[in-house]
Amino acid sequence: MNHTIIKTNNLVKTYRRYKKREGIRGSIASLWKRDHEEKKAVDHIDLSVEKGEFIGLIGPNGAGKTTLIKMLTGIIAPTEGSIDILGYYPNDLKNEFKKQYAVVMGQKSQLFFELTVNDTLRLFKEIYEIPEEDFQKTKHYLVELFGVGELMDVQVRTLSLGERMKMELIVALLHNPKILFLDEPTIGLDAVASKQIRGFLKEINQRNGTTIILTSHYMEDIKTLCQRTVVINHGMKIYDGTTDELFDRYQKNKKVIATFENPVEDIKIKTQNVVLLEDAPYKKVYEVAKRFSKNLLAELMEYEPKDIVAEEEEISVIVERIYQDGGECRG
């Protein structure tokens, strides 16, 4: 049985920005009359999220993703429209509501850098008023899951970026939130750490039934974790449907990067729909239609590359393609 826990209707957030002409005359004129313009960061978004879903929220920078999350968590109030999260209006900022969700932002830390990890967790136990027995049980589970037992007595400021992100997630999950909002959780992490974080998030979603909304510019995060994806551009929802369909329909090309131990001057490529982007003795970069990428990889392997990587198109490219297609929403 479906259980809707997030519901928005015609959600709008409008900012008023003041404008001033350049120079001293403009500054003096603005003392008597200030011109302004209005910008819709979120433009009439309807969103419905069921309990236990893992949703990707994507779009280019400035699309309105972070503004939407801030409204869903009560940090800012909407200009128009309605929000219902687990029966609460977020901007009322009731303590009961704050205990229902958690937010992790890859570029902003909620940890206390001068404290040890154990002391940080103990502090958040008091903030969220977690009973001691529940605290110890959840802490043990999360420490085992993330494999960070040896780090509990070290100062937070000495942790690596990957270790710190694990601690950010442990702190966020300590009070067993029903909803977890993630804003670029793998930003700046290397491939190994990113893969670990994705594995932990999948475990939390599947084992605990935690509803997760993830924003990311990394295709691997979205494709690996999210069955459903919502695309936002210029504050508007332009796609809402399965992640598989999104990539099948709108991801047209791949970038293939091959590097070599010894210089390779001339490679004759027979594969169709290939564009050579970079041609250096030790490195070749190609753009190839997705359906022909396996053929290109097979051809390049004959030249014994030191390394070969096939990269997905950036999210901004896919969003632009959806927008050009008419911005048809699904779901």
Whether 217 and 267 map to the same domain: the answer is no
How many DSSP H helices and E strands does the chain contain?
11, 13
Whether 258 and 240 map to the same domain: the answer is no
Number of domains in the chain: 2
Q: What is the DSSP string of 17-46?
A: EEE--SHHHHHHHHHH--EEEEEEEEEEEE
Residue 316, pLDDT > 80, answer no
Q: What percent of the chain has pLDDT over 70?
A: 92
Whole-angstrom distance, CA of residue 168 vs CA of residue 35: 42
* Residue entry with tokens 């047209």: 252
Q: State the number of CA atoms in the 13 A half-sphere of 227 facing the CB.
A: 11
Q: State the number of CA atoms in the 13 A half-sphere of 210 facing the CB.
A: 26
pLDDT of residue 20: 63
Domain range for 262 is 253-312
Residue 185, pLDDT > 60, answer yes
pLDDT of residue 234: 87
Q: Return the CATH number at 262.
A: 3.30.70
Whether 37 and 134 map to the same domain: the answer is yes
Whether 281 and 223 map to the same domain: the answer is no
- Report DSSP state, residue 314: P
Last residue of a domain, one of 213, 231, 249: 249
| Single pTM value for the model | 0.81
Whether 243 and 267 map to the same domain: the answer is no
Range in 20-29, 210-219, 225-234, 312-321 with the lowest mean pLDDT: 20-29
